[in-house]
Amino acid sequence: MLEVAKKFGLRSSVLNAFLAAQGLVFTGMLCRTMPYFRDRILADPLFLFKVGAEVVIDSGCATVAEVRKRGKDFWAEFEFYLSDLLVGLVLDVVLVSLMAPAAVLGGVSRAAMSNSPLKKWLATIPSAVFEASVPGVKTYNVGQRVACLGVKFLEYSLAGITCGLLGQGLANSLMLLKRQVHGAKEDDVPVPPLFKTALVWGLFMGVSSNTRYQIVFGLERLVDMTIARSIPQVAYGTTIAIRFINNVIGGENFIDMARWAGVQ
């Protein structure tokens, strides 16, 4: 922030938000030590609440969805559930963070502060299709908003493949360990292919999650622009309600996609 201040100056709204965050222990610590989260906290005061809500809601909704979809096979496929849950918790933070707007610290746009041609181009793409433009700092046209879908597809897919490899690797290890200890049974489900499962996670994140979370972001912004201006507390309730519905749909959607692909 000091380097940005020396080169481009600091926006007063950003400086005020940063100083205000120091009054909260955890938030202040994140702002001082992790620039990635700092920029998102400064841009959206509800950022950490949204991350927390996503994690709590997803854990509960994923469990309900898994029990509903798997039915009597739930305990026989418990390793799948555990894998889906662990991967989902990590991806919750990724999903919210990648689509959250980042504050522009200096008096010029992010593109003007970047040296790399790729970073300059990425700085012109909104974090979400419905991200608000800020005159003189960041403005987006229709083409850039459409390009956001492609950028998020790549980001979400990469995150999904990486977490899928780790999560399914853990699940496969647990399945094999359980069979070594208790012996194989006739009704044991086959050990799913690791890389194919990871690719399914990538497809799910890039298509399903990308689309659903773009809509979630747009609905939350709509509330912020209307009712929440008069009654700020409404934003909290809306976030919980929208993300609850989204997680129920997403949990069942993943199981359907995994079974369609033949990995579960």
The per-residue pLDDT string of the chain (264 residues; one tens digit each, 9 = 90 and over) reads: 888 888 888 888 899 999 999 999 999 999 999 999 999 999 998 999 999 999 998 888 778 777 877 777 777 777 777 777 777 788 888 889 999 999 888 877 777 777 788 888 888 899 999 998 887 778 899 999 999 999 999 999 999 899 888 877 887 887 788 778 777 776 666 777 888 888 998 999 999 999 999 999 999 999 999 999 999 899 999 999 999 999 888 878 888 888 888 877
Judged on CB neighbours under 10 Å (0-12, 13-18, 19+), 117 is exposed
Helix (H, G, I), strand (E, B) or coil at 81: helix
- Helix-helix angle 142-182:210-225, to 10 degrees: 130
Smallest CA-to-CA distance from 85 within 263, 264, 251 is with 251
Helix (H, G, I), strand (E, B) or coil at 138: strand
pLDDT of residue 129: 95
How far is Cα 59 from Cα 63, in angstroms, rounded to an integer? 6
